[in-house]
Amino acid sequence: MEERKRQPKISELRIGSLQLADGDMEAALAVLKLRAESRILVGFEKALGERNRISLDLNDPTVGEILDRLCKADPRYTFEFSGETLVNVFPLGAKVDPTNLLNLRVRHAVINEKRTPEDVIRRIPDFAPELSKYLEDKAKEQAKRSGMPQGAVGHRMSGNMDPQISLEFQNVTVREILNAVSLFSADLSRKYSHFAAVSWKYEFVVDPKATTGLGGYPKWDVS
């Protein structure tokens, strides 16, 4: 019996070529995903401050080599692989920063309803109780200090055509939930051609006038 060919680890996966002219980390990761033909997912946390410009012209590199080069070109970032298909790219020190919302630990979370992975990622506070409470408490504190009324909390929306998502978590970080939802989207895309695998990205938009009580606005999105 012929032995099945071993699939390369994500770090060993070779990309035919990769070119980027005067881009940034976010643009470079978008090109990488495109060249990898949806074989990898990326969880990307954007660094604060001015974007470092990146130009690359690589021939037959591995995913690991590309990420090494990208993090050398913008040394604010580092990366780590999570499982066989997902890589996290994040600012240095982000994973040990106690003020980073992605590090907030969630004791128990259940996502068991008709919902697209995109919707879950964009509205992750709705599905992570500790994150939701933290954001609500901060906004209340800010409203009390400023004497302004607190804005109404948004509500969830879903459609009849959304897929059923059944995920349960115990003692995980917000980052780990986002990773799991992204990986779930990949499983979904393999079963149903009309669903696409989605990567996630997180950005904190600094705004001293923000009503969040955080000094800015957290933003979760897909890519």
Q: How far apart are CA 218 and CA 203, in angstroms?
A: 6
Number of domains in the chain: 2
Query: Residue 7 pLDDT > 60, yes or no?
Result: no
Burial class (CB in 10 A: 0-12, 13-18, 19+), 223: middle
In-domain check, residue 223: no
If you average pLDDT over every residue of the chain, what do you get?
Answer: 89
- Nearest Cα neighbor of 202 from 161, 181, 180, 174 is 174
Query: Residue 152 pLDDT > 70, yes or no?
Result: no
- Average pLDDT on 171-183 reads 97
Instruction: State whether 140 and 65 are in the same domain.
Output: no
Q: What is the pLDDT of residues 35-82, one digit of tens each?
A: 887 789 999 999 998 889 999 999 999 999 999 999 999 999 999 998
Instruction: State whether 34 and 121 are in the same domain.
Output: no
Confidence tier at 1 by pLDDT (50, 70, 90): very low
Instruction: State whether 84 and 179 are in the same domain.
Output: no
Instruction: State whether 127 and 171 are in the same domain.
Output: yes
CB count in 10 Å sphere of residue 119: 20
Instruction: State whether 162 and 105 are in the same domain.
Output: yes
Question: 84-88, 90-94, 145-149, 181-185 — which is least confidently predicted?
Answer: 145-149
- Average pLDDT on 12-16 reads 91
Instruction: State whether 38 and 129 are in the same domain.
Output: no
Coil, strand, or helix at residue 59? strand
- Average pLDDT on 160-168 reads 82
Instruction: State whether 205 and 125 are in the same domain.
Output: yes
| Tokens linked to 167 | 């995920």
Task: Among 56, 79, 96, identify where a domain stops.
Answer: 96
- 97, 113, 223 from 159: Cα distances, Å: 37, 11, 21
Range of the domain at 170: 97-217
What DSSP state is assigned to residue 96? G
Q: What is the pLDDT of residues 193-218, one digit of tens each?
A: 888 899 999 999 999 999 999 999 99
- Average pLDDT on 106-113 reads 95
Coil, strand, or helix at residue 166? strand
Instruction: State whether 81 and 46 are in the same domain.
Output: yes
